[in-house]
């Protein structure tokens, strides 16, 4: 065995691990240049801000343009007031130069406001969509690092909801946040102008502002938990939909369509209740906030009109004052909506952080060992493991020599598949050690370990891509001849050539357009193409016809000659491939030897084989009975059809 110690910079590590991830396509998208802030004490926006700030130039340009748009908008009411004040002078003296100059300035500023506003909106939209894409990439990049234990405790729909609707809630807030900025700044500038006109008139206009602020803060406090529940119940609906789509065969097999519709209806009803509750609260608070500002407007017209009559304020200044009053009122008019969006974004960010703050249980150590040309010597030493509080393996110890083929036999739930998962470090053993070529697998780089330990599961997962790409999944750069040779070895070539487009045929989701045996053969072909030095077949031929299985075994015998192979076996035909059998019971090895040795000396081994053989015969008998029942049913229908005319004559 040859190994190398790796303790280099991240760039070097990436270069070394690249050989274990062969890719034959050019990446179209770069990884996000930043991730969220790891400091959980910061508020949600500051944690997201690093992803936003990597696009600082378009973001800064967008904000700058938005502020310029606001400043131009603030200048227009003052110019309007000047035009109104200048109009009597222009009429009485026929001196219209200054008047038309003000009109031209207003036209130019309006055009400038349009152009700058468009550019600002474009840049903000661009940044918000980039944030959405980057945040989704950050979530996915983090998901692939998490251990299997994380996926054991979370529903698929919950993950999908966080990567879609929750991210969009944050994006919507980012789109609307410049509006909040401009309304606040316009409030400041408008208030400054109003104070320069009349302090008492400004006080009358803002008399209801403290009340509006208190009500707005109360609305914010109420809306946050409702926003959190809204996003949570949206995820619950997504879970039901996801499970129904993926489990359609089970739903239809048990005629549970109405029951599943009821589950969806209950989930949708809970979501509806929360959303209606949010609407009820908004319909109470938002009109109050908006109408309180009207009181200030009425006071301005009454009191301001009196000041104009008294000659203390010019008419143009009063008109401009009212235009600025509309600017001051605008934040309060949209405050309710903005608070709802902000609270929903905050709730969504919290749900996203639940995933991003999750740390993988299984990671590479600082110093890792890269396997180079491993011999394939495996050893389990006093290994213990439990799923949560349920013990599975207890002081498990056994050894597999390089190039040896070992079958692991045991009752259901005896821990056979768990051994496979621990060998690939999908889970971490509670105690004890597992070594490959006398190197603890915890010292190995995870990608290196997965590259050299190939697995074929009893229910292989196929992607919605072509058959060729499914077989070449572990080696996308494999030639077509290599793919065909692997398919022939797995006895899959014949059925592939009979599909609509051969190797270019796209299989349905999870490969459900193929039979169970066909999926297993493609899974075997996929593993054989990678050609790993250590191969694990976890009941990989359980759904394959006995004749086809025999042909696969003939091919496997030659392929297994120079590799270490572990067979999780149920069938005698599979056990016959093994050089040695390990008998497992309640998570411990109780015997090891050849098939004949165990059969003659270990009664438990004979019991397990007899039980499994009986179960297989019962399954085959049930299938045969179903076929005979179908034939009898068809014969009875044909008989009834033939007898129908005679019966009609008798009845007449």
CATH topology (fold) of 44-356: ABC transporter transmembrane region fold (1.20.1560)
Task: Give pLDDT, residue 342.
Answer: 82
DSSP, collapsed to helix, strand or coil, labels residue 393 as strand
Residue 47 has pLDDT above 80, yes or no: yes
The answer to which of 3-7, 164-168, 564-568 has the lowest mean pLDDT is 3-7
**What does each C-alpha distance from 320 to 87, 301, 559, 591, 613 come to in angstroms?**
15, 12, 88, 95, 93
The 8-class DSSP code of residue 444 comes to B
Mean pLDDT of 445-461: 83
Task: Give pLDDT, residue 559.
Answer: 61
Give CA–CA dist 147/177, Å, rounded: 36
**What does each C-alpha distance from 166 to 46, 55, 244 come to in angstroms?**
17, 21, 22
Residue 346: strand pairing partners = none
Joined together, the tokens standing for residue 500 give 């609509």
Could you check whether 44-356 and 369-601 share the same CATH topology? Answer: no
DSSP, collapsed to helix, strand or coil, labels residue 410 as strand
What CATH number was assigned to the domain covering residues 369-601? 3.40.50.300
The answer to which of 280-294, 447-461, 561-575, 623-637 has the lowest mean pLDDT is 623-637
Residue 454 has pLDDT above 80, yes or no: yes
Residue 651 has pLDDT above 60, yes or no: no
pTM over 0.85: no
DSSP, collapsed to helix, strand or coil, labels residue 567 as strand
DSSP, collapsed to helix, strand or coil, labels residue 434 as strand
The answer to which of 15-24, 115-124, 364-373 has the lowest mean pLDDT is 15-24
Beta strands 588-593 and 580-585 are: antiparallel
Question: Which of the four pLDDT bands, split at 50, 70 and 90, describes residue 501?
Answer: confident
Task: Give pLDDT, residue 13.
Answer: 40
Per-domain residue ranges of the chain: 44-356, 369-601
The total of other beta-carbon atoms located within 10 Å of residue 75's CB is: 16
Task: Give pLDDT, residue 334.
Answer: 67
Question: Which of the four pLDDT bands, split at 50, 70 and 90, describes residue 378?
Answer: very high
Task: Identify whether the C-beta of residue 364 lies closer than 8 Å to the C-beta of residue 556.
Answer: no
Task: Identify whether the C-beta of residue 490 lies closer than 8 Å to the C-beta of residue 552.
Answer: yes
What percent of the chain lies above the pLDDT cut of 70? 81
Give CA–CA dist 224/221, Å, rounded: 6
438 Rama sector, left if φ>0, alpha if ψ -120 to 50, beta otherwise: left
Task: Identify whether the C-beta of residue 434 lies closer than 8 Å to the C-beta of residue 423.
Answer: yes
Joined together, the tokens standing for residue 440 give 């603890």
Task: Give pLDDT, residue 628.
Answer: 46
Residue 10 has pLDDT above 50, yes or no: no
Give CA–CA dist 582/591, Å, rounded: 6
């Amino acid at each position: 065995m040859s190994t190398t110690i790796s303790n280099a910079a991240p760039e070097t590590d990436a270069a070394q691990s690249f050989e274990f991830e062969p890719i034959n396509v050019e990446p179209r998208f770069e990884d996000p240049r930043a991730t969220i802030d790891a400091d959980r004490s910061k508020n949600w926006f500051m944690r997201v801000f690093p992803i936003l700030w990597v696009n600082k130039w378009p973001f800064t340009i967008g904000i700058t343009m938005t502020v310029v748009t606001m400043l131009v908008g603030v200048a227009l009411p003052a110019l309007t007031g000047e035009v109104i004040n200048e109009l009597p002078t222009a009429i009485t003296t026929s001196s219209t130069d200054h008047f038309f100059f003000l009109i031209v300035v207003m036209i130019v500023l309006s055009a400038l406001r349009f152009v700058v506003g468009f550019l600002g909106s474009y840049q903000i939209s661009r940044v918000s969509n980039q944030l959405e894409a980057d945040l989704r990439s950050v979530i996915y990049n983090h998901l692939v690092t998490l251990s299997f234990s994380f996926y054991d405790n979370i529903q698929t729909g919950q993950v999908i909801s966080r990567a879609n609707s929750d991210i969009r809630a944050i994006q919507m807030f980012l789109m609307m946040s410049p509006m909040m900025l401009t309304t606040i700044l316009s409030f400041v500038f408008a208030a400054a102008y109003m104070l320069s006109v009349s302090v008492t008139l400004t006080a009358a206009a803002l008399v209801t502002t403290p009340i509006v602020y208190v009500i707005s803060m109360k609305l914010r406090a109420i809306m946050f938990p409702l926003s959190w529940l809204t996003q949570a119940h949206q995820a619950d609906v997504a879970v039901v939909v996801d499970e129904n789509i993926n489990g359609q065969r089970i739903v239809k097999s048990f005629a549970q369509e109405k029951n599943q519709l009821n589950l969806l209806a209950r989930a949708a009803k809970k979501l509806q209740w929360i959303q209606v509750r949010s609407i009820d609260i908004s319909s109470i608070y938002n009109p109050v906030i908006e109408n309180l500002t009207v009181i200030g407007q009425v006071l301005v017209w009454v009191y301001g009109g009196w000041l104009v009559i008294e000659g203390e304020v010019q008419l143009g200044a009063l008109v401009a004052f009212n235009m600025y009053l509309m600017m001051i009122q605008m934040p309060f008019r949209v405050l309710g909506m903005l608070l709802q969006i902000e609270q929903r974004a905050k709730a969504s960010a919290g749900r996203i952080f639940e995933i991003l703050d999750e740390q993988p249980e299984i990671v590479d150590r600082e110093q890792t060992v890269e396997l180079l040309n491993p011999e394939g010597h495996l050893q389990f030493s006093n290994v213990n493991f439990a799923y949560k509080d349920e013990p599975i393996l207890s002081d498990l110890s056994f050894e597999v020599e390089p190039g040896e083929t070992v079958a692991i036999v045991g009752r259901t739930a005896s821990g056979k598949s768990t051994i496979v998962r621990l060998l690939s470090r999908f889970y971490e053993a509670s105690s004890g050690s597992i070594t490959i070529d006398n190197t603890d697998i915890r010292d190995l780089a995870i990608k290196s370990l997965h590259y050299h330990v190939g697995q074929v599961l009893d229910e292989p997962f196929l992607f919605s891509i072509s058959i060729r790409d499914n077989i070449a999944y572990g080696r996308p750069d494999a030639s077509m001849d290599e793919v065909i040779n692997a398919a022939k070895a797995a006895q899959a070539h014949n059925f592939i050539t009979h599909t609509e487009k051969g190797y270019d045929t796209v299989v349905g989701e999870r490969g459900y357009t193929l039979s169970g045996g066909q999926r297993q053969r493609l899974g075997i072909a996929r593993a054989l193409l990678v050609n790993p030095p250590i191969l694990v077949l976890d009941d990989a031929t359980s759904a394959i016809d006995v004749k086809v299985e025999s042909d696969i075994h003939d091919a496997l015998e030659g392929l297994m000659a120079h590799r270490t192979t572990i067979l999780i076996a149920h069938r005698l035909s599979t056990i016959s491939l093994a050089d040695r059998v390990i008998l497992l019971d309640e998570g411990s090895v109780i015997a090891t030897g050849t098939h004949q040795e165990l059969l003659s000396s270990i009664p438990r081994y004979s019991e397990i084989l007899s039980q499994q053989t009986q179960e297989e015969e019962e399954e085959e008998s049930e299938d045969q009975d179903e076929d005979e029942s179908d034939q009898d049913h068809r014969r009875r229908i044909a008989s009834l059809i033939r007898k129908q005319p005679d019966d009609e004559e008798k009845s007449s």
